[in-house]
Protein backbone atom coordinates (compact mmCIF):
# COMPACT_ATOMS: atom_id res chain seq x y z
CA UNK A 1 0.00 0.00 0.00
CA UNK A 2 1.31 3.44 -0.89
CA UNK A 3 1.20 5.96 1.93
CA UNK A 4 0.69 9.59 0.93
CA UNK A 5 1.18 12.60 3.16
CA UNK A 6 -1.16 15.33 1.92
CA UNK A 7 -0.51 18.91 3.01
CA UNK A 8 -3.50 21.26 2.76
CA UNK A 9 -4.23 24.86 3.71
CA UNK A 10 -7.51 26.19 5.10
CA UNK A 11 -7.38 29.88 5.89
CA UNK A 12 -4.09 30.35 7.73
CA UNK A 13 -3.90 26.74 8.98
CA UNK A 14 -1.75 24.05 7.38
CA UNK A 15 -2.76 20.45 7.96
CA UNK A 16 -1.09 17.14 7.21
CA UNK A 17 -2.94 13.90 6.55
CA UNK A 18 -1.39 10.45 6.09
CA UNK A 19 -3.31 7.88 4.08
CA UNK A 20 -5.92 6.25 6.32
CA UNK A 21 -5.57 8.81 9.11
CA UNK A 22 -7.40 12.04 9.95
CA UNK A 23 -5.85 15.41 9.07
CA UNK A 24 -4.11 17.26 11.89
CA UNK A 25 -2.90 20.86 11.96
CA UNK A 26 0.85 21.47 11.77
CA UNK A 27 2.50 24.49 13.31
CA UNK A 28 5.41 26.61 12.05
CA UNK A 29 8.66 26.61 13.92
CA UNK A 30 10.37 28.46 11.04
CA UNK A 31 9.68 29.08 7.36
CA UNK A 32 10.53 25.46 6.51
CA UNK A 33 10.10 23.57 9.80
CA UNK A 34 6.72 22.47 11.16
CA UNK A 35 5.52 20.22 13.98
CA UNK A 36 2.43 18.38 15.17
CA UNK A 37 0.92 18.95 18.61
CA UNK A 38 -0.93 15.59 18.59
CA UNK A 39 2.23 13.47 18.20
CA UNK A 40 5.98 14.02 18.56
CA UNK A 41 6.80 14.47 14.87
CA UNK A 42 8.33 17.25 12.82
CA UNK A 43 8.51 18.11 9.11
CA UNK A 44 11.18 20.04 7.28
CA UNK A 45 10.38 21.19 3.75
CA UNK A 46 13.24 21.12 1.24
CA UNK A 47 13.57 23.51 -1.68
CA UNK A 48 15.48 23.56 -4.96
CA UNK A 49 17.60 26.36 -6.41
CA UNK A 50 14.44 28.05 -7.72
CA UNK A 51 13.06 28.09 -4.14
CA UNK A 52 10.28 25.60 -5.02
CA UNK A 53 9.36 22.92 -2.46
CA UNK A 54 10.59 19.56 -3.77
CA UNK A 55 10.32 17.29 -0.74
CA UNK A 56 9.88 17.08 2.99
CA UNK A 57 11.61 15.12 5.70
CA UNK A 58 9.39 13.70 8.43
CA UNK A 59 11.18 13.07 11.73
CA UNK A 60 9.47 10.73 14.17
CA UNK A 61 10.75 8.17 16.70
CA UNK A 62 14.34 8.99 15.77
CA UNK A 63 13.79 8.16 12.10
CA UNK A 64 13.95 10.57 9.17
CA UNK A 65 11.75 9.73 6.19
CA UNK A 66 12.07 11.70 2.99
CA UNK A 67 8.95 12.19 0.87
CA UNK A 68 9.17 13.57 -2.66
CA UNK A 69 6.55 16.05 -3.75
CA UNK A 70 4.19 14.67 -6.39
CA UNK A 71 3.12 16.46 -9.55
CA UNK A 72 -0.16 18.43 -9.67
CA UNK A 73 -2.18 15.40 -10.82
CA UNK A 74 -0.99 13.40 -7.81
CA UNK A 75 1.01 10.99 -9.93
CA UNK A 76 4.41 9.90 -8.65
CA UNK A 77 7.36 11.12 -10.64
CA UNK A 78 8.66 8.58 -13.18
CA UNK A 79 11.19 6.05 -11.93
CA UNK A 80 14.53 6.04 -13.69
CA UNK A 81 15.51 2.70 -15.18
CA UNK A 82 18.26 1.09 -13.12
CA UNK A 83 21.41 -0.41 -14.63
CA UNK A 84 22.80 -3.56 -13.03
CA UNK A 85 26.58 -3.84 -12.79
CA UNK A 86 29.01 -6.52 -11.67
CA UNK A 87 30.96 -6.12 -8.45
CA UNK A 88 33.91 -8.10 -7.11
CA UNK A 89 32.83 -11.33 -5.40
CA UNK A 90 34.09 -10.18 -1.99
CA UNK A 91 32.01 -6.97 -2.00
CA UNK A 92 28.59 -8.49 -1.12
CA UNK A 93 30.13 -10.61 1.66
CA UNK A 94 31.12 -7.54 3.69
CA UNK A 95 27.47 -6.42 3.85
CA UNK A 96 26.24 -9.64 5.51
CA UNK A 97 24.59 -8.98 8.87
CA UNK A 98 21.58 -7.54 10.65
CA UNK A 99 20.52 -3.89 10.44
CA UNK A 100 17.92 -2.48 12.83
CA UNK A 101 15.52 -0.20 10.94
CA UNK A 102 13.46 0.33 14.09
CA UNK A 103 13.02 -1.67 17.30
CA UNK A 104 11.80 -5.14 16.39
CA UNK A 105 12.18 -4.54 12.65
CA UNK A 106 15.43 -5.97 11.32
CA UNK A 107 16.81 -6.11 7.79
CA UNK A 108 18.93 -9.24 7.41
CA UNK A 109 21.49 -9.33 4.59
CA UNK A 110 22.92 -12.65 3.40
CA UNK A 111 24.67 -13.95 0.29
CA UNK A 112 22.99 -16.79 -1.60
CA UNK A 113 24.23 -18.25 -4.89
CA UNK A 114 26.50 -15.23 -5.51
CA UNK A 115 23.54 -12.86 -5.05
CA UNK A 116 22.98 -10.43 -2.17
CA UNK A 117 19.71 -11.37 -0.44
CA UNK A 118 17.77 -8.95 1.78
CA UNK A 119 15.00 -9.94 4.17
CA UNK A 120 12.99 -7.61 6.39
CA UNK A 121 11.22 -8.93 9.49
CA UNK A 122 8.08 -10.84 8.45
CA UNK A 123 8.87 -10.66 4.72
CA UNK A 124 10.47 -13.10 2.27
CA UNK A 125 14.12 -12.71 1.27
CA UNK A 126 14.64 -11.03 -2.11
CA UNK A 127 17.74 -10.55 -4.24
CA UNK A 128 19.14 -7.07 -4.75
CA UNK A 129 21.35 -6.05 -7.66
CA UNK A 130 24.36 -3.73 -7.66
CA UNK A 131 24.29 -0.36 -9.37
CA UNK A 132 27.53 0.60 -7.59
CA UNK A 133 29.75 -1.04 -4.98
CA UNK A 134 27.59 0.38 -2.18
CA UNK A 135 24.14 0.84 -3.77
CA UNK A 136 21.79 -2.03 -4.67
CA UNK A 137 18.25 -2.17 -6.03
CA UNK A 138 15.32 -4.57 -5.94
CA UNK A 139 13.61 -5.78 -9.09
CA UNK A 140 10.45 -6.93 -7.26
CA UNK A 141 9.66 -3.49 -5.78
CA UNK A 142 10.79 0.11 -6.36
CA UNK A 143 13.32 0.24 -3.53
CA UNK A 144 17.06 0.63 -3.15
CA UNK A 145 19.60 0.02 -0.40
CA UNK A 146 22.80 1.97 0.08
CA UNK A 147 25.45 0.72 2.51
CA UNK A 148 27.33 3.28 4.60
CA UNK A 149 31.06 2.64 4.96
CA UNK A 150 32.99 4.31 7.79
CA UNK A 151 36.43 5.89 7.56
CA UNK A 152 37.89 2.61 8.83
CA UNK A 153 36.39 0.74 5.84
CA UNK A 154 33.85 -1.11 7.99
CA UNK A 155 30.13 -1.20 7.20
CA UNK A 156 28.30 1.08 9.66
CA UNK A 157 24.75 0.71 8.39
CA UNK A 158 22.42 1.01 5.45
CA UNK A 159 19.78 3.37 4.12
CA UNK A 160 16.60 1.96 2.61
CA UNK A 161 15.03 4.17 -0.08
CA UNK A 162 11.39 3.27 -0.70
CA UNK A 163 8.21 5.20 -1.46
CA UNK A 164 10.04 8.51 -1.28
CA UNK A 165 11.33 7.74 2.23
CA UNK A 166 14.94 7.37 3.35
CA UNK A 167 15.24 5.12 6.38
CA UNK A 168 18.59 4.53 8.09
CA UNK A 169 19.47 1.31 9.88
CA UNK A 170 22.73 0.83 11.84
CA UNK A 171 24.53 -2.51 11.53
CA UNK A 172 24.05 -4.64 14.65
95 and 165 together in one domain: yes
If asked whether residues 42 and 104 sit together in one domain, one would say: no
In a domain, 10, yes or no: yes
By the 10 Å C-beta count (0-12 exposed, 13-18 middle, 19+ buried), 4 is classed as middle
Closest CA to 81 of 118, 126, 131: 131
Same domain, 97 and 149: yes
Residue 82 lies in a domain: no
3-state DSSP call for residue 78? Answer: coil
What pLDDT is attached to residue 58? Answer: 87
Q: CB–CB of 35/26 below 8 Å?
A: yes
pLDDT at 154: 93
Does 99 lie in the same domain as 60?
A: no
Number of compact structural domains in the chain? 2
92: alpha, beta or left? (left if phi > 0; alpha if psi -120 to 50): alpha
Quote the domain boundaries for residue 32: 5-68
Judgement on whether residues 21 and 56 belong to the same structural domain of the protein: yes
Q: Is residue 83 part of a domain?
A: no
In a domain, 79, yes or no: no
Q: How confident is the model at residue 65, as a pLDDT?
A: 82
Q: What is the pLDDT of residue 74?
A: 63
Residues 51 and 98 in one domain: no
The CATH number of the domain where 107 resides is what?
Answer: 2.40.128.50
Taking only the tens of pLDDT, the chain with its 172 residues reads 677 888 999 998 999 998 889 999 999 998 889 999 999 999 998 877 667 787 888 888 888 888 878 766 666 544 456 788 888 888 889 999 999 999 999 999 999 877 899 999 999 999 999 989 999 998 888 789 999 999 999 999 999 988 767 899 999 9
- Predicted confidence at residue 79, as pLDDT, reads 47
Q: Count Cβ atoms within 10 A of the Cβ of residue 23 and give its class: 0-12 exposed, 13-18 middle, 19 or more buried.
A: middle
33-69 b/e (C-beta count within 10 Å ≥ 16 → b): ebebeeeebbbbbeeeeeeeeeebbbeeeeeebbbee
43 & 102 share domain: no
Amino acid sequence: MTVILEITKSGETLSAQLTGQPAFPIFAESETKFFYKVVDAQMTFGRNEANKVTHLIMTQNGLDRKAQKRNKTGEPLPVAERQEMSVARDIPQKYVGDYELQPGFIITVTVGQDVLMVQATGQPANPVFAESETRFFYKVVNAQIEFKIGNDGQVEGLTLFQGGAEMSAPKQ
